[in-house]
Amino acid sequence: MKHLWTPWRMPYLKAPKETTMTGCIFCDKFRANGEQDRDNLVLWRGQRAGIVMNLYPYTNGHLMVAPYAHTGELETLDAVTLQEMMLLVAQSIRALRAYANPHGFNVGANLGKCAGAGVEDHVHLHIVPRWNGDTNFMPVLAETRMIPEMLPDTYDKIFSVLQADAEKAG
């Protein structure tokens, strides 16, 4: 028998299944001091929305764009916030292409619990890089996703790409 070591999954497995946050996960991350962004996996702070890494990603580089406004209803966000969110999705895709050269992306939102929202009271958009052949039996049979890089390493690489793009843009 072969063993697949996934030590980064242990905190998730041991964590209570109820939220350990005192409030909304996105609000908590965005309210925190910017010096804690790496620990909170906040990659980018815009005027009305930001980019964060998913703590339990589907694939390496799974990012989320969320507004600072706390709402579970996309249609309640103003046009300026919606526009910035889509610009951050595009910025995320450019950074992920430079970081990992995926073959494609899943981009979307799960609005409401029945639609699969893990955090249903704060709208967020998922940007999931995909590669040909990146699916396997592990999630189905073992309820385990295989992520080939530790989150802090992924954070540093994507953060560097985002910073370089910002410097080019002036």
Contact criterion met (CB below 8 Å) for 100 and 62: no
Q: Is 124 a catalytic residue?
A: yes
SS3 state at 122: coil
CATH architecture of 26-169: 2-Layer Sandwich (3.30)
Tens of pLDDT, residue by residue over 131-152, are 887 665 545 445 556 667 888 9
- Residue 137, classified by CB atoms within 10 Å of its CB into exposed (0-12), middle (13-18) or buried (19+), is exposed
Under the banding of pLDDT at 50, 70 and 90, the label for residue 10 is: confident
Q: Does residue 44 contact residue 51 with C-beta atoms inside 8 Å? A: yes
**Selected catalytic residue, list 62, 70, 103, 124:** 124
Q: What percent of the chain has pLDDT over 90?
A: 58
**Over the stretch 92-111, which tens digit does the pLDDT of each residue have?**
999 999 999 999 999 999 98
- Sequence spans of domains, the chain: 26-169
